[in-house]
Every structure is written in structure tokens, then in C-alpha cells.
Chains A and B, each alone.
Chain A
Amino acid sequence: DVKVTQSSRYLVKRTGEKVFLECVQDMDHENMFWYRQDPGLGLRLIYFSYDVKMKEKGDIPEGYSVSREKKERFSLILESASTNQTSMYLCASSPRLGSSGNTIYFGEGSWLTVV
């Protein structure tokens, strides 16, 4: 079974704090993703990484950065948290193109509240 683990399920942070969301996958997948989920908007891609130290901006990268120093770990960083970043954050991973029908596997999500 593919396992994508997000270190924190529920976080409460103050405006202006630096926030780290950590994600680890155990299937040696090349691709990792961070999505944000908001009611009525579905999932929106924040950042994507296709290899160690490689990243691409998704649809809503503003206010976020990412780090991928090891293949299994992908971190999302909020440099200065704001209340409009209160949301559910989902990490996901997938193997390199073509090897399993492009299925993306998700973690259980991290609920972030910024006060």
C-alpha cells in the first residue's frame, strides 16, 4: 500500500508566523505535490516537484514556498502566515509518468487555521 504521511493533522498558527507542513511518502515516487482544498473550489495545485531539488509552481504559489532535499520528503512553507491561508492542505505523490497510469496518492490532509 502506498503511504503518504502528513506530519500534522491540525495546526493553529498566528498571523505572521512561519509555518512548515511536512510530507513523507514511502513508495519511492518521483513526483510530489501540495494542494490546497477550499469549499466550493475543489483542489488547487500550489507546487509540484518532479525530482529532488526540482520544483514547479502550480496554480496558486503566491505566499508559499517548498523544499525537497530528499526524494521521500516534500515540505510546504508559509513564510508569513495570513488568515486567508486558513485551509486544508493535501500532500500527494505519484510515480514517474506512465508507470502506474498516472495515479496520484494523497495523504490525509493538514487542517491549518491562521488566527
Chain B
Amino acid sequence: AQSVTQLDSQVPVFEEAPVELRCNYSSSVSVYLFWYVQYPNQGLQLLLKYLSGSTLVKGINGFEAEFNKSQTSFHLRKPSVHISDTAEYFCAVSDMDSSYKLIFGSGTRLLVRP
């Protein structure tokens, strides 16, 4: 069964510094990959997704992620973070043959300090 690992439960970073949030998934079969963001007391909002094509995906709010099939990874990056990026970030994966079902990682809390 598919699984998603987000190794870092919390990532503290100073404002304007770069950040990388790591995500690895278990299966090498064809997959769709997603990053969602959850601001305090809100639901989840899609940041970006990889379906096919270019392995570098750009999303909203200056975030991007790179799909690496050989390493089964989909790490999220931002070159310069803002205080407003403080939130919880979830990586998710679905198999192409059962793509209605998303498997989520446990989440990474990004804490941006002034």
C-alpha cells in the first residue's frame, strides 16, 4: 500500500531564509503528487500538484516542488519565506489507477520567525 513520509514534524526558519520541506512516498508506480497548506483554524488549500510532464512544479505563494522518481521524493521549496507562510504543510500521493484516493503524510509545521 502507498504511504507518505514527511520526516520533519516542525521546521523553524527565519524570515527571508530559504526552506525545504521533505516528502518521500513508498511506491514507484505511476503516481500523482500534491502539496497542501493548512493555515490555523482552516481547511486545506492546494499549493501545487504534479500530474505529468516537467518535474519542476510551481505553485501559489512562490512555492515550488521537484518530482524525483528515482528517489521517490517530492520536496517543497521556497527561496525566501515570509511570516505569513507559517502553517502546516501536507504532502499527499495518489496512485494513477485509484486516483480518487489521496494518502497524506503526517504534516510539517513551518514556523517562520522574524
Contact = CB atoms under 8 A, between A and B. Distances in A.
A90 B101 contact: no
Contact of B42 (A35, A50, A102, A109): A109
Bin the interface of chain B by size: 20 to 34
Contacts of B63: none
Contacts, number: 59
A66 B72 CA distance: 35
B51 A107 contact: no
Contacts of A22: none
A97 interface: yes
B106 interface: yes
A106 B36 CA distance: 10
Interface residues of A, number: 26
A87 to B, nearest CB: 14
B43 A104 contact: no
Contacts of A101: 32, 49, 51
B100 A50 contact: yes
Nearest to A104: B102
Interface of B: 4, 6, 9, 32, 34, 36, 41-46, 49, 51, 90, 92, 94, 99-102, 104-107
Given A48-B101, A108-B41, A108-B42, 18 more contacts: A4-B43, A31-B100, A42-B105, A42-B107, A43-B90, A45-B101, A90-B44, A97-B100, A101-B32, A102-B51, A102-B94, A104-B46, A104-B102, A105-B46, A106-B45, A107-B43, A108-B43, A109-B43
